[in-house]
Amino acid sequence: GNLDPETGQQIFALLRRCAEEGTAVIMATHNLALVEQYPARTLRCEAKALHTS
């Protein structure tokens, strides 16, 4: 199921710490607002095409 906003923020904070320690983090989400809060390379799939940021 979907995460509530607080849990989503906690998960992202954990993933960010992992990334800062050198671990590659790969995730998928439909929540673009949450993704935009964290500067990182992103790939977006839209209309059967892959876009990078």
Whether 53 contacts 41, CB under 8 Å: yes
Q: Is residue 1 very low, low, confident or very high in pLDDT (cuts 50, 70, 90)?
A: low
Read off the tokens for 20.
């800062």
Q: What is the pLDDT of residues 4-50, one digit of tens each?
A: 888 988 988 899 899 999 999 888 888 888 788 777 888 888 898 99
Q: Which one is predicted more confidently, 49 or 53?
A: 49
Cα distances from 37 to residues 5, 15, 31, 32, 34, in angstroms, run 13, 13, 11, 9, 5
Q: Per DSSP, what are the bridge partners of residue 47? A: none
pTM exceeds 0.75 for this model: no
Supply the pLDDT for residue 5.
84
